[in-house]
Amino acid sequence: MVKMEKSERLKQIPPYLFAEINRKIAAAKRACVDVISLGIGDPDLPTPQPVVEALNRAANDPRNHRYPDYEGMPSFREAVSKWYKRRHNVRLDPDKEVLTLIGSKEGSLHLSLALINPGDAALVPEPAYTTYMTSTILAGGIPYRMALKEENDFLPRLSEVPEDVAARAKIIYVNYPNNPTAAVAAKGFYRELVDFAKDNDVIVCSDNPYSEIGFDGYRPLSFLEVSGAKDVGIELNSLSKPYSMTGWRIAMAVGNPEIIRAMALVKSNVDSGVFNAVQHAGIAALNLPDSVIDANVKVYQQRRDVLCNALEQVGLKVKKPKASLYLWVKVPEGYSSESFAAEVLDKAGVVITPGSAYGGAGQGFFRVSLTVPDARLNEAVERIKKSVKI
């Protein structure tokens, strides 16, 4: 048998976070435990019916059975442009400033492959969605971790990035509303970010899949709402969270036309674009009334309140998030992130995500998701109350 050895860049990448969570769930189920997972942010609410119907119609049209355009259908990119204007008052040229993606996760890798040379740095927040780090490594770059600390409202201190690192950096990643911390960013931070990018010749990538999930009347920002943002960067966004379309794999990169063009060149050599029928479904989603998003957000807000109250009754201190699909909670004294997650699974049969899974700066916290049906969420709450004593 031929000897197979992984590449050096692949050896640097830890196991994918949610694959590990799925393995733990499978092991508990083999032990006959009725596991309730609060670990993964996969919306349980159904995709709106008009979107499903649009897919059915388009899938039955033979014209959609051929290769799609690499950059996406003009009609989908036009729908994205109108959606951004309606939701965020951001103007986009659909021909030059919008690129269709097979989920925003691939956008991070395409961006890294388009811009990063071996040895270049990327400024990556920590704790964070692991894709920013792994995309940098796969492109041959070196991640520089910017610690997100509670005392800084989980925003990076841009002034603390060493000058030599900033000089080598090609990309800086930001993500607000944030996964996993649920933190949000105001315009003042984005203005500082634009200035930092211009001063250091760094491209900004704002990963914004939770841009529509805001509570108590709060409306999250798009990075592109800030003057000068389009000069220095792009935003990744997705239909996954606002329209419950995680499995459909359709998203967009928007912003600076030169960056969009570079990403499109990578895409044309890596994949063959998004199935046209899915893009037609995406158009249907983007044209739905805003009340559809509002109804979903109302459900998540109610779940947020239920979970916050339950965790406080157990003895944990919880700060209600203004946005996102998560709670980010400190573990009790005497526990690590891993040991507390293990205790909750062992005693209550409930999966929570240890904060350390998002990088060392996440140690001391855990994340729970709001994407669980109400009945199962209430059962998880009762189990935690009965089984976990702080």
Q: How would residue 26 be classed by pLDDT, with cut points 50, 70 and 90?
A: confident
| pLDDT score of 191 more than 70 | yes
Cβ(358)–Cβ(128) under 8 Å? yes
Measured between alpha carbons, how far is 132 from 35 in angstroms, rounded to an integer?
30
pLDDT score at 60: 98
CA 176 to chain centre: 9
- Interatomic CA distance for residues 327 and 374, integer angstroms: 16
pLDDT of 17 reads 60
Residue 191, token pair as written in the block: 């203005």
Predicted pLDDT of residue 20 = 66
Domains of the chain: residue spans and CATH: 8-46+291-387 (3.90.1150.10), 49-289 (3.40.640.10)
Mean residue pLDDT across the chain: 94
Beta-carbon neighbour count of residue 386 at 10 Å?
A: 11
Output the six-digit token pair for 148: 């997100």
Task: Find out whether 223 and 233 touch, Cβ atoms under 8 Å.
Answer: yes
Q: How many residues does the chain have?
A: 390
Whether 245 has a pLDDT exceeding 90, the answer reads yes
Whole-number pLDDT of residue 19: 67
How confident is residue 16, by pLDDT bands cut at 50, 70 and 90?
low
Out of 8-22, 34-48, 261-275, 291-305, pick the least confident.
8-22
Neighbour count for residue 338 (Cβ, 10 Å): 15
Confidence of residue 4 (pLDDT cuts 50, 70, 90): confident
